[in-house]
Amino acid sequence: MADEEEKDSLTHSYIEVANGSLKFPADINGYKIPDFSYAGYRNSSHSLPSADIHYKTIVKLQMPSGDETDRIQNAIDKVSELAINEFGYRGAVELGKGIWNITQLLIDADGVVLKGAGRDETILQSTLSSSPQQVIRIGPSIPSSFPTNLWDDGGDGLRWSITTPIVNVGDMNFEVTEGHSIQVGDPIIIEHPCTEDWLSEIGNGAPNPKQWPVNSVPIRYYRYVTAVNGNDITIDAPVMYSLVKAYAQCSVYKYSVTTRKFIGIEGLTIDADLSSNSFSENHPNACIRAHRVENCWFRDVRTQNFRGCGFTLIESSRITVIDCEAIKPHSLITSSRRYNFQTRGSQLVLFKDCFASYGRHSFVGAGHGMDSGNVFQNCIAENNYAATEDGHQRWVNGTLLDGCIFRLDGEPEEGGAFDFKMLWMGNHGINANGHGWSSCTGVAYKCAVATPGYAIIAKPPTGMNYEIDCKGDFRSDHFAHGDYPGAIDIVTSGHLPESLFDAQLAQRKSIN
């Protein structure tokens, strides 16, 4: 059967373009390219909000002088107490031109916007000296247990088993057991447990079975219910991996957390380190950290001189990060550092027209099986010390890299060495206690890897990854972790659109 599956993956057309429409046929295993167009602010069904239309400036601050933390935080708190308008916003705090010295800011209310005069004009300069901190924190603090606790609130209450034998990747409906109380509009979690049978099907995730124990890699999808017909449930965005009852009895429960919504940051730079030392570490770990937020956005924001992340999104969903930069990290070049744009258990996030430099993992999903449905469109990763990994470890699923560019343009920092492995969707083996299979249902579409760089796109068990119409050296093998062919030069028919995300979004909007 394995030979038949490999042959089919090499001959099956996964994208068919004809008469102005797109089709994504499933292969003999039910694997197919899902609809990624649900990523982004409000599932990309609405444009990003505009000042004076969707929200108004409530407090405008000018002429920074000294430590401005209290002045800005008081303004944010004032806006946070206002009523929410018809679009979901309370108002904006607007900062004028100049360097604003701060320690740390917190936004923890719906509908608050923080904006500057432009990222070259308004600079938030952090004076924090503690590396675990963040310059701007959005949402509540993070629980100590991570990552298996992500999206688990409500999981200790009522659950309903999914009775559909196979919910294929890309599907948006399924049946559950009788007697459920699921209603239209409910926020739910669809959970695929990490069972012994599933681990056996995926080769234990990593070569050493002890490194992926039972229950260690659950997969969870955060969705809203759009229709209920008896026991048949329809959700607002597809699952990104096939849920096979024979391998794992999946279930549904209601998510019990109230997320923060409609928060925006735009038109400013966040600088996390005052020093000029590229390897300094006594400063904030992240410029922006968002936790348990959805339908939020970041636009025209530059983050720089951070230790760990420019942007890190944790247990969040339906976010747009557009025209943003995460550059010039200041840290040692080692693990857990220089993740320019990072998701940790976040889903349906759209990164568009973003730029990263001197990162270890410029664009990375680090939330195990809880990262899914994320899109990087027209993004550039430059001068990387380690590969962009749509999945850093343990079964991140359903990531689209659409028209992204990976390149070298300059010299490494003293003592550093650029990594020619620029993009990696594959098996990471026993790296760091068993990262193993890091990516499933990952798509590299019309991406470019510059010489002497290369990309690894490998086929995982029980799923597919896809390399489509890319430029440069794309291969399926890793010198230490094996060769898993079947994901390179995926067959298509017809004239491919310039952007897969844009084409899927346009088609979805035309149908709806």
| pTM exceeds 0.75 for this model | yes
* DSSP class per residue in 202-259: TTTSSSSGGGS-TTSS-EEEEEEEEEEETTEEEESS--SS-EETTT---EEEE-----
| Chain segment 45-56, per-residue pLDDT in tens | 999 999 999 999
Going by the DSSP 8-state scheme, the letter that residue 427 receives in this structure is B
pLDDT of amino acid 1: 45
pLDDT at 206: 82
pLDDT bucket at 9, cuts 50 / 70 / 90: low
Q: Largest Cα–Cα distance in the chain?
A: 70
> Do 222 and 294 fall into the same domain?
no
Do 392 and 315 belong to one domain? yes
Q: Of 30-44, 232-246, 320-334, 421-435, which range is least confident?
A: 421-435
Q: Give the lowest-confidence range in 112-126, 208-222, 244-258, 450-464.
A: 208-222
Predicted confidence (pLDDT) at residue 392 exceeds the cutoff of 70: yes
Strand ranges, E, within 251-391: 251-254, 260-261, 264-271, 286-291, 293-304, 309-314, 317-322, 325-327, 339-344, 347-352, 355-357, 363-365, 372-377, 380-382
The pLDDT score that the predictor gives to residue 7 is: 60
Tell me the mean pLDDT in the region 242-247.
Answer: 98
Question: Residues 317, 40: contact at Cβ < 8 Å?
Answer: no
Quote the domain boundaries for residue 210: 160-254
- What does the pLDDT read at residue 142? 78
Whether 165 and 276 map to the same domain: the answer is: no
Q: Is the CA virtual torsion 329, 330, 331, 333 positive or negative?
A: positive
Torsion, CA 243, CA 244, CA 245, CA 251, rounded to 10: -10
User: What single-letter DSSP state applies at residue 101?
Assistant: E
Rounded CA-CA distance 207/426 in Å is 13
Q: Using CA atoms, how far apart are residues 233 and 216, in angstroms rounded to an integer?
A: 27
Q: What is the pLDDT of residue 210?
A: 72
- Tell me if 385 is assigned to some domain: yes
Residue 63's Cα: distance from chain center in Å? 36
pLDDT-based confidence at residue 409 (cuts at 50, 70, 90): very high
Mean of pLDDT values over 450-470: 97
Q: Is the pLDDT of residue 3 over 60?
A: no
If you average pLDDT over every residue of the chain, what do you get?
A: 94
Quote the pLDDT of residue 20.
Answer: 85
Assign 512 a pLDDT band (cuts: 50, 70, 90): confident
Q: Looking at the domain assignment, is residue 5 inside a domain?
A: no
The answer on 269 and 215 residing in a single domain is: no
104 strand-pairing partners: none
Quick one: which of 499, 410, 390, 508 has its CA closest to 450?
410
Residue 149's pLDDT band (boundaries 50, 70, 90)?
confident
pLDDT at 301: 98
**Averaged over 451-469, what is the pLDDT?**
97
Q: What is the CATH number of the domain that holds 320?
A: 2.160.20.10
Query: By the 8 A CB rule, do 94 and 75 touch?
Result: no
> What confidence tens digit (pLDDT) does each residue in 307-363 have?
999 999 999 999 999 999 999 999 999 988 999 999 999 999 999 999 999 999 999
Token pair, residue 263, equals 């928060």
Residues 480 and 375 in one domain: yes
- 87 and 183 in a single domain? The answer is no
Contact of 80 with 94, CB cutoff 8 Å: no
| Predicted pLDDT of residue 480 | 85
Q: Do residues 234 and 308 both lie within one domain?
A: no
Name the pLDDT band for 504 (thresholds 50, 70, 90).
very high
Continuous segment of H or E residues that includes residue 188:
strand 187-192
* The amino acid at 464: M
Query: Residue 148 pLDDT > 80, yes or no?
Result: no
pLDDT at 109 over 60: yes
437 and 466 together in one domain:
yes
Task: Among 254, 282, 313, identify where a domain stops.
Answer: 254
The answer to whether residue 24 is domain-embedded is yes
Say yes or no: 471 and 356 in one domain: yes
Whole-number Å distance between alpha carbons of 305 and 121: 17
Same domain, 341 and 312: yes
Domain termination site, one of 219, 254, 289: 254
Tens digit of pLDDT for each residue in 154-174? 999 999 999 999 999 999 999
DSSP classification of residue 51: B
On whether both 263 and 238 belong to a single domain, the answer is no
CA within 13 Å, CB half, 28: 12
User: Rounded CA gap, 407 and 409, in Å?
Assistant: 7
Predicted confidence (pLDDT) per residue in 265-314, tens digit = 999 999 999 889 999 999 999 999 999 999 999 999 999 999 999 999 99
Statement to judge: residues 249 and 282 lie in one domain: no
In a domain, 3, yes or no: no
Residue 214 lies in a domain: yes
Residue 91 pLDDT greater than 60, yes or no? yes
Model confidence band, residue 254 (pLDDT cutoffs 50, 70, 90) = very high
Please indicate, yes or no, if residue 155 is contained in any of the structural domains: no
Please state the domain count of the chain. 2
